[in-house]
Structures are given as structure tokens and as C-alpha cells.
Structure 1
């Protein structure tokens, strides 16, 4: 079993409404590729680009929720929506699980009811920012580098109450530490090691150790820029980041968060979903069977509410 903590298929289908999830070649994650690999659960992120006008951002988020239900779930009876560990445990052998997540809270503005609406619609993990700043916190690309606002702390309280994962990927450095203090269920859905690749989106050793101390989850991502600092990378580079997290004591937090369909760069040997099985075999050649189980799914499962 494989659980992938992040992809941007919903964004691509929103941007290209004529596309089909079934077999669209341009989609690195599509139904035909999914049904033929060992990925059991895929997290589908709602990502509204920040250039969408403010008054249309929440509507765009709702449109992506609609795409999730109408294009991912409805046509395929063997794809089940999952919201908990129990839902995943109950998947039959021929079934796949789809989890709805949110990348950046800029679509809710200052309105906590908009957040609750998205949670009622099934969002089970929420990234507080993208790279930009919003009413909740600054992102890692915001020069100001501010942490959680008063409203941001209210948001984290709501996520705690609803047992929703609080995602620190893309968050400012100060915001990261404040989430560590405030969130009951912190994760980094798609982030790599800053020590291996000094990209602003990656987490330094101190941050990774903080996630370890919280028994959280950290999904190593397949974005070449975050792996090597360039637009080229190989599966060995992905493994280098996994090994670095392992050396810090991260055996029980490290997992996978591909970011397929959210980036133009391609990792050699991990071009799309079709390569996932061979990558898992490569991991099995490098690590123990027990550790590969943790990387592939167990470390993600343990952070979910029962």
C-alpha cells in the first residue's frame, strides 16, 4: 500500500475544464495510471492560485470541491472518499481512497464560516498558506515573515476541534513554530530537507526534529527544485532526502507527498503515477521492509484520527 500526501490534480482539472480525469495524458495522476499501481490513497489538494480575484477565491475553492465529487468520485464506484484511518482500513482490495485537502487558506479571507464549510464538505488537512501571506499567516515567500495572526490562531483552534491535520508546508519560519505550539495534528504534506537542498520551501534540521518530537508526518516531495535546487533530479535525490530525515531520527514520520501535477519539473524515474511501483521497489532495495512500510503508508496512517 502507498499513501501519497499531496497532488494538484484538482487545480489542473479546474484550469482545464475540458480535461478528463480518466486518461488525460497531460495529467501525471489519472484514473488509468492510478488503477494500475499500488497507491491506495491519494490526497487531492484544493489550490486556488493567488492571482484569482479575492471575491472569486472561495467560489474557485468550491468549484474544486465540486470537481472532486463529480470527476474523481462519481464516475468511479471503486474510488471511495476517506476521512479517517478507519475509512482507509475498510477499503476493499479493489478500492482506492481519495482524501480532500486544502493548500492555502487565502480563499476563506477572514471568514471562519468559509473554513468550516470546507471542513463540512470533507477537507481533512489544511495548509495555512501557500507561499504568499494571507489573513492566517505569512507564507515562506512573504518577505515580512510574520507568523500566525489572531485569526490564524482561531483557525488552528477550529482545525484542532474538527480533528483536521494542520499542514505547515509553504508556511513562514515563524508560522511553523507557532503551529508547533498550537496545532494538535501538525504535518508537512510535501516538504524536503533544507540541509540536503537549501531551498526556502524545505525544512531545516531543527524543524524536522520538531516534527519528530510531535510524532507528525513529513511527505518527501518529487519537485526537482526542492530536491536538487535545479530543474532536474533523479530517484536517488528523493532517497537522499529520505535518508537525511532518517539520520535525524525520522523513521516514524517520513513519507511521500509527490506534488504530481503541481510542478513542471520531472524527476527521472518518477515522471508520473506509472513509475510509483518501480520507485517503491527501489526503496525496498535500499531500506528494510519494515521501514519501506512506514515510508509508503504507515507514517501517514498514524497521524489520522481513528
Structure 2
């Protein structure tokens, strides 16, 4: 008799738990139907480069299954807007970083154009809303790494004209004007004490253009400097909470508070190593970061920055982009109210984006900054120097002249 009672009790408990879980999921899907889910960082364009050399004719995003992201998964995940990363490796710096970045910008445009029933290109906060109203995923571009502009404000402006709406100031290498996060680990030397003077020019020009400043991948010193000097709110497109996982790619508490003071946003990264500081993580571990950031600085600075297709490990329960509703349902289970969920889904990013646009409009009468970076800060064998004083035609020619002279003399001796 007692065994039968226990069996019935367990069945009733299971039915009740399942009913509650279904209620959370139904609520999550309803909120996601009302507010666009905007993700700050996805590296599918890099997968197009590494797997197909950007030959989209070889790819079908309806059937591609080797990536975290495809169109059926996007639809299942209710992903309303995505910042696609135009990323190129650090070893392109001082070589062909601009060309390769332009190719990534191009592949994002082509990817969006190839699937017009599902994607709609977006370059403004209003564009995101318009795409959501049409039940399409808004495609936005973020350039991941300051090395991609080759220390050129003209290149920065050109990329903005091509639709780029954020620049991550560094990736995992110092640029000639900013220090990257590896400096804080001690594995790379500090070069600029954070930002150089030209680095500050980059920030001000981004403010003038209306380009979001992304502080993922920079040193803590750069975070604080930019938060102090930027006229517009900043973003962390794919970083998590240092208070949960003490990884230098994450955001310390005092910076979280400063982000709140400046009305910015931290978009939580799902990479296991940044979630738990270990190779293993779960959806609950990611939710811990959302809870922690909300506790420290409030729901007004939180967003989603999954980093899908840019990392080798993602948490159990968040295996691909189809799983966003599961995370939203979990946050509801943990006591998040509807307004807090809507903030994190997209209202925070739309607010930040709108304020960046407002700052841009307020600076409309300000002329573009045309002061170049000092030659000594960028001179290298692969860079010409037309326009700088003394009208030297090529830093490469000067740098290689001693080698040429030595080879000539050796040739004569042999």
C-alpha cells in the first residue's frame, strides 16, 4: 500500500513540475514574441571563411548542421536580431587585415541577401524594430578587433558606411593604440597604459559616427578609460561576470557599476571557460551570471552575447542558438519578472543603440577627425608612409635597404 502511495505521489509531483516548466516556457515564448531578442555576438561569418572560404554558393543555411547556427535553429531560438562578427585573426595585423575584414563584411551582406525571407539587413535601432515587425531576423555587423582598421580613422569611417555598427577595440593582440585583455594576465606586455592618444581619437570618432564602442577583449584599464571619456554608452558584446568566473575576459564588479552609471550594457557570453572557468558548464551556470549582474548593477545593463560559432565549448542546455527560450524560461523560474526579461532580451540594447544615435546626431556639426596616427607608432616593413613629413615613399623600402645592401655585398664576395 505504501509503495503505491509513493508511486502516485511521485507521479503527481512530476506532473506538477512539468506543468510549472511548461508555464515558464509559454511565458518565455510570449515575452519573446513581444520583445526582440538581440544577441551581441555570433561568429557564423568566420565559419563561412574557415569552412567554405566565403563561398556561399557551397552553403545552405537551412540544412547546415556543423555549426551552432542555421536558419531553423534561429527560428526555434526566436532570435530577432544578431550582430554578426566580422572577425579576422590577429596575425593579419600589419598585413592584410583591412582586406580580410572587408571580405567578412561582404559575406555578412551576402548572407543576409541570400535569405530575404528570413533575414533583413539592419544599421539602426529602428531597423531592428522594423525587422521584428516583419518577423525577420535583423542582420547587424560588428567588427571584432581594432587591428581590422589598421590604425586608420578613414578606414573606420568607411566601415561605418558599409554598415558596421560596433568595433571591438582589441581582440587578443595589442593594436598600435590599445592594450588587449591578455595584458591583464601577464602574458603580454602593456604598451599603451590602456589607450594611446590615438586610441582616444578612435573613441571620439566612433561617438561622432554613431558606432557602438565594444569593450569585450580589452584590459580593465581600457574599460575604465573608455567609460570615462566616451560621450555615448558602451557595450560588452560578449563578456560575463568576473565575480562568478575570475577570467580576464569577464567584467569586474566596479566596471559593472560604472557601466550602469553610463547606461551601457554587458551581453553575457556562453563560452564555458568564461562561465565557470572550467571546460564544463551548464545552462544554470549561465543563468548565475545573469543573476549576479542583476544583483550587482540591475537588469538595465544585461543582454545576451552567446559567442556561438566562435568558441569550442558551450554549456549543456545551450548547445546552439535554438536554446535561447530555455534560458529565458529558466530566468523566469528563478524569479525574474516580465520587465526584467524584456530588458535583457532587447530593450537594453535598443536603449543603448538609440542613445549612441542621439549622441551622433548631437555631433552632426563636428567635422571628421583627420589627424593620422603618428608614423613612429605604426611604421613597419609592410606599411608605406605617403603623406607623412619628408615625403618618404615607403617604410618598407627603408627598412629593407640594409638587408638589400648586405645581400649585394655577399653576392659580390661569392
TM-score between both structures, scaled by the size of structure 2:
0.71
1:277 equivalent to 2:325? Answer yes
Match of 2:139 among 90, 98, 115: 98
1:58 equivalent to 2:98? Answer yes
Corresponding position of 1:2: 37
For 1:297 and 1:270, locate their aligned partners in 2 and report how far apart those are by CA, in whole Å: 19
For 1:225 and 1:139, locate their aligned partners in 2 and report how far apart those are by CA, in whole Å: 18
Match of 1:139 among 158, 180, 192: 180
Q: Could you list the per-position Cα deviations for residues 123-167 of structure 1 after superposition, in whole angstroms to 9, with x for gaps in the alignment?
A: 111110012100230101133333111221111111000111101
Q: Compute the displacement of 1:12 (Å).
A: 1.1
Q: Compute the displacement of 1:53 (Å).
A: 5.8
Corresponding position of 1:12: 47
Match of 1:80 among 91, 95, 120: 120
Map 1:207-222 → 2, pairs under 5 A: 207-222=255-270
Match of 2:165 among 91, 107, 124: 124
Contact residue 233 and residue 266 of structure 1 kept, 8 A: yes
Map 1:219-258 → 2, pairs under 5 A: 219-258=267-306
Q: Compute the displacement of 1:4 (Å).
A: 0.6
Count of aligned pairs: 306
Q: Could you list the per-position Cα deviations for residues 185-241 of structure 1 after superposition, in whole angstroms to 9, with x for gaps in the alignment?
A: 311111111111111111111111110111101101101000101111011111111
Corresponding position of 1:293: 342
Match of 2:246 among 182, 191, 198: 198
Contact residue 21 and residue 72 of structure 1 kept, 8 A: no
Contact residue 160 and residue 185 of structure 1 kept, 8 A: no
Deviates more, 1:168-177 or 1:10-19: 10-19
Contact residue 13 and residue 20 of structure 1 kept, 8 A: no
Q: 1:239 to 1:70 in 2, by over 3 A?
A: same
Deviates more, 1:217-226 or 1:91-100: 91-100
| Greater helix share, structure number | 2
Match of 1:38 among 78, 86, 89: 78
1:68 equivalent to 2:103? Answer no
User: Which structure has the bigger radius of gyration?
Assistant: 2
Structure 1 stretches of 4+ with a deviation exceeding 4 A read none
For 1:166 and 1:47, locate their aligned partners in 2 and report how far apart those are by CA, in whole Å: 16
Q: Could you list the per-position Cα deviations for residues 267-292 of structure 1 after superposition, in whole angstroms to 9, with x for gaps in the alignment?
A: 00000012122222222222112211
Corresponding position of 2:199: 152
Instruction: Give the SS at the match of 2:41.
Output: coil
Q: Compute the displacement of 1:182 (Å).
A: 1.9
For 1:37 and 1:102, locate their aligned partners in 2 and report how far apart those are by CA, in whole Å: 24
For 1:221 and 1:257, locate their aligned partners in 2 and report how far apart those are by CA, in whole Å: 5
TM-score between both structures, scaled by the size of structure 1:
0.95
Corresponding position of 1:28: 68
Instruction: Give the SS at the match of 1:41.
Output: strand
For 1:21 and 1:157, locate their aligned partners in 2 and report how far apart those are by CA, in whole Å: 38
Q: Could you list the per-position Cα deviations for residues 14-68 of structure 1 after superposition, in whole angstroms to 9, with x for gaps in the alignment?
A: 1122444333111211122113331110110111111236321111101101101
Q: 1:53 to 1:86 in 2, by over 3 A?
A: closer
